[in-house]
C-alpha cells in the first residue's frame, strides 16, 4: 500500500487480541520512527518497549489515576461526549495489548512536542502497514506515568502506544472534505 492508502485505511483501535507480535515488527516500527524529521534535528524522542505484565499493570494504574482526576473535572457536556465515544478512565488496553511503546520526549529540545508527533505519525503508518493497530493514548497526567518507568528529569512521557492485532469493531471516524479544509491564496477563498 502507498502512503495515501495506508492513511485512508488506518483507524484507531482501543481493544486488542492477546496474539503476540513478532520482534522484527517492533524493530520495523522503531526503524521507521527514528527516520522522522525533528526541530533542529534534535531527535527528542526515546522509546520504552514494555512487554512484562508487571510494568504494563503499573503503567495502567498510573494512567487510570490521572484519568480519574481528569474525568472528575470535565464539564457536563464533555462528559456526554466522552460517554458517547465509549471513553472512560478505565484503560484495559494498556494491559491487554501484547506490547506498549511509551514515547518519551526531551523537553529541552526546540519544538519537542511537534517533533514527537511527527515520529508518532510515522509509527502509526508503519503499524498499519504491518497489519497491526494502536491508539495514540495521551495520559492526562504524564508525570504519574513517567514516574513508574523511571523517566529522568528533563524528559516526559508524551504518549503510550498499545500495539497489537485489533479486536475493535469501531469504524474510522469521519474526516472533513478537502473543500472544507482548503482555501486558495487567502483564508475563506475557495475558488
Ligand X SMILES: Cc1cc2nc3c(=O)[nH]c(=O)nc-3n(C[C@H](O)[C@H](O)[C@H](O)COP(=O)(O)O)c2cc1C
Which candidate, 27, 12, 92, 20, places its Cα nearest to that of 60?
92
CA dist., res. 190 & res. 181, Å (int): 10
Give the one residue of 38, 126, 137, 144 binding ligand X; rule: CB under 6 A: 137
Q: How many whole angstroms separate alpha carbon 59 and alpha carbon 161? A: 12
Quick check: 173 binds ligand X (CB under 6 A)?
Answer: yes
Interface with ligand X in residues 15-74 (CB under 6 A): none
- Of the pair 9, 22, the CB lying nearest ligand X is at 9
- Show the beta-strand stretches assigned E in the chain: 45-50, 99-106, 133-134, 155-164
Cβ distance to ligand X smaller for residue 178 or 191:
178
Q: In whole angstroms, how close is the CB of 179 to ligand X at the nearest point?
A: 20
The residue within the footprint of ligand X, chosen from 43, 106, 125, 136 (CB under 6 A), is 136
Q: Which is nearer to ligand X, 136 or 141 (CB)?
A: 136
Question: Residue 99 is placed in which grid cell?
Answer: 506490547
Provide the residue count of the chain.
191
Instruction: Output the CA torsion sign for 134, 136, 139, 144.
Output: positive
CA distances from 101 to 50, 51, 53, 128 (A): 6, 9, 14, 15
| Binder of ligand X out of 21, 97, 127, 135 (CB under 6 A) | 135
Segment 82 to 101, residues that bind ligand X, using CB under 6 A: 87
The count of residues interacting with ligand X (CB under 6 A) is 10
Stretch that binds ligand X, among 6-14, 45-53, 102-110, 176-184 (CB under 6 A): 6-14
Residues that bind ligand X (CB under 6 A): 11-12, 14, 87, 135-138, 172-173
Amino acid at each position: 500500500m502507498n502512503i495515501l492508502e495506508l492513511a485512508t485505511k488506518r483507524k484507531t483501535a482501543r481493544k486488542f487480541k492477546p496474539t503476540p507480535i513478532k520482534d522484527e515488527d517492533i524493530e520495523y516500527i522503531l526503524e521507521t520512527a527514528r527516520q522522522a524529521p525533528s526541530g533542529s534535528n534534535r531527535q527528542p524522542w526515546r522509546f520504552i518497549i514494555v512487554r512484562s505484565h508487571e510494568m504494563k499493570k503499573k503503567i495502567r494504574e498510573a494512567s487510570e489515576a490521572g484519568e480519574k482526576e481528569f474525568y472528575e473535572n470535565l464539564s457536563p457536556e464533555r462528559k456526554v461526549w466522552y460517554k458517547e465515544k465509549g471513553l472512560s478512565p478505565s484503560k484495559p488496553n494498556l494491559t491487554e495489548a501484547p506490547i506498549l511503546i511509551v514515547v518519551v520526549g526531551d523537553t529541552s529540545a526546540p519544538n519537542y512536542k511537534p517533533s514527537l508527533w511527527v515520529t508518532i505519525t510515522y509509527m502509526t503508518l508503519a503499524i498499519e502497514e504491518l497489519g497491526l493497530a494502536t491508539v495514540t493514548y495521551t495520559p492526562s497526567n504524564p508525570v504519574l506515568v513517567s514516574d513508574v518507568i523511571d523517566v529522568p528529569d528533563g524528559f516526559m512521557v508524551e504518549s503510550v502506544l498499545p500495539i497489537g492485532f485489533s479486536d475493535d469493531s469501531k469504524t474510522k471516524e469521519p474526516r472533513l472534505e478537502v473543500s472544507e479544509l482548503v482555501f486558495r491564496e487567502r483564508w475563506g477563498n475557495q475558488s
